[in-house]
C-alpha cells in the first residue's frame, strides 16, 4: 500500500517461535530489521495463495453470505432525483445503485451492530449520499437516500456509520459505532 511512512507489509511464513524470537521465511529482511506487528493470514481476505497455510482457528469460518438488497420505491426515487449531485458516480444512477448494492450485500455492520442493534436503522455514506437501511434476516432494505453536502464538515471525521434518527436511551452508548471506512466516499454516514 502507499503510505506516508516507511513501514512495509509482507506476507511471510512463521517457521518457529522460541521465547521472544519469531523466525520468518519467505521475506527479504536484513537481520535485526524490526517487525512492528504480526497478523494472522486470512484466506478469504488476503490475496496471496499459500501452499498449505496455517490459519488461526478463529479465522477458519467463511465470511457471511451475501444479503439480498432491496430499495424502497421512495429510496429509488430519491436516488434518481439526487443523481446530478453525485461526484464519484458523475450522475450515473445505475453505477451508484450497483455500488450501494455491493456494499450492502457484504453487510457493512460490525458484529456488535449485527447482534445487539439489529433492530435499528443503519446509515452510511457513499459519494454524496447517505443511505438509510433496515436489515431483516438476510435482506438489507434501503428505506431512504439522502443528500450529504460534502463541504459540510459535520458529516466527516468523527462520525462513523450508525443508528439513524434516534437518540441513545439511558444507559446506552451513543450511536456511531457501526463499521464504515472513511475516505474514498464510503463510510462516515450519520443520522437523519
pLDDT by residue (tens digit) across 13-66? 888 999 988 888 888 777 778 888 888 877 766 766 656 667 667 666 666 678
Residue 96, H or E segment: helix 93-105
Q: List, in order of start, the domains of the chain with CATH numbers.
A: 7-63 (no CATH), 68-163 (3.30.2310)
Measured CA to CA in angstroms, residue 82 lies from 25, 62, 66, 74, 144 at distances of: 53, 37, 27, 12, 12
Q: Is the pTM here over 0.95, yes or no? A: no
Sequence length of the chain is 192
Residue 170 in contact with residue 102, Cβ under 8 Å? no
Residue 28, H or E segment: none
Model confidence band, residue 113 (pLDDT cutoffs 50, 70, 90): confident
Q: Which three cell numbers stand for residue 118?
A: 439489529
Residue 131 DSSP SS3: strand
Residue 187 in contact with residue 180, Cβ under 8 Å? yes
Q: Which three cell numbers stand for residue 86?
A: 453525485
Amino acid at each position: 500500500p502507499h503510505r506516508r511512512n516507511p513501514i512495509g507489509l509482507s506476507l511471510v511464513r512463521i517457521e518457529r517461535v522460541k521465547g521472544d524470537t519469531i523466525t520468518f521465511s519467505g521475506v527479504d529482511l536484513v537481520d535485526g530489521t524490526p517487525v512492528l506487528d504480526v497478523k494472522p493470514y486470512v484466506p478469504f481476505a488476503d490475496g496471496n495463495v499459500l501452499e498449505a497455510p496455517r490459519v488461526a482457528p478463529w479465522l477458519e469460518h467463511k465470511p457471511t453470505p451475501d444479503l439480498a438488497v432491496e430499495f424502497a420505491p421512495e429510496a429509488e426515487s430519491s436516488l434518481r432525483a439526487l443523481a446530478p449531485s453525485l461526484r464519484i458516480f458523475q450522475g450515473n444512477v445505475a453505477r451508484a445503485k450497483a455500488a450501494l448494492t455491493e456494499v450492502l450485500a457484504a453487510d457493512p455492520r460490525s458484529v456488535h451492530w449485527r447482534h445487539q442493534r439489529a433492530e435499528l436503522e443503519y446509515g452510511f455514506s457513499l459519494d454524496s449520499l447517505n443511505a438509510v437501511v433496515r436489515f431483516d434476516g438476510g435482506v438489507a432494505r434501503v428505506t431512504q437516500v439522502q443528500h450529504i453536502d460534502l463541504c459540510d464538515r459535520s458529516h466527516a471525521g468523527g462520525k462513523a456509520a450508525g443508528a439513524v434518527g434516534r437518540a441513545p436511551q439511558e444507559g446506552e452508548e451513543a450511536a456511531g459505532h457501526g463499521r464504515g471506512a472513511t475516505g474514498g466516499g464510503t463510510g462516515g454516514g450519520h443520522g437523519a
